């Protein structure tokens, strides 16, 4: 059976490496790195989400968690392994929101430092991209 693309959207704060500097807060606080809205018109629709973010450690050895949300519900998480001081790491993830509910939804991804000692600090430095496609 052929699949049909129902909707597509993207948030692209930057396509370029090391073009931003967005400090990541310590958990439980977080920062939204990218967000967009997407329509799900019929039951049985799946949403394919693809994101990329590049991080650097500015102090210590931070551990980062990315959380992917549909509206206010977490639908996926990605852990970025401990970064060495001044290391730059590009992380790409793919999440499928199976049988997403019918409606217009906000999708976003956030990031936070989980080993929140004051000596562990990191920033999102770009690129940061996030796209979604609803497929029936």
Three-class SS of residue 21?
A: coil
Sequence-separated (6 or more) residues with CB below 8 Å from residue 65: 27, 77, 78, 79, 80, 111, 112, 114
- pLDDT tens-place string over residues 9-53: 999 999 999 999 999 999 999 999 999 999 999 999 999 999 999
Three-class SS of residue 102?
A: coil
pLDDT for 117:
73
Strand 22-23 vs strand 88-97: parallel, antiparallel, or unpaired? unpaired
pLDDT greater than 90 at residue 116: no
pLDDT, mean over the chain: 95
Query: Could you give the CA distance from residue 29 to residue 6 in angstroms, rounded to a whole number?
Result: 34
pTM of the entire predicted model: 0.94
Distance of CA 46 to the CA centre of its chain: 18
Going by pLDDT thresholds of 50, 70 and 90, the confidence category of residue 77 is very high
Encode burial over 73-104: b for 16+ CB neighbours within 10 A, e otherwise. eebbebebeebeeeeebebebebebeebeeee
pLDDT for 82:
78
């Amino acid at each position: 059976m052929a699949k049909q693309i129902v909707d597509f959207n993207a948030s692209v704060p930057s396509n370029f490496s090391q073009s931003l500097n967005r400090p990541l807060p310590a958990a439980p606080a977080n920062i939204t790195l990218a967000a967009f809205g997407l329509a799900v018109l019929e039951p049985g629709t799946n949403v394919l989400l693809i994101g990329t973010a590049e991080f650097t450690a500015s102090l210590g050895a931070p551990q980062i968690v990315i959380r992917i949300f549909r509206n206010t519900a977490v639908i996926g998480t990605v852990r970025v392994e401990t970064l060495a001081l001044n290391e730059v790491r590009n992380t790409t993830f793919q999440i499928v929101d199976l049988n997403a509910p019918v409606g217009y939804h906000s999708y976003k991804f956030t990031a936070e430092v989980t080993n929140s000692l004051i000596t562990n600090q990191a920033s999102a430095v770009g690129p940061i991209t996030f796209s979604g496609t609803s497929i029936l």
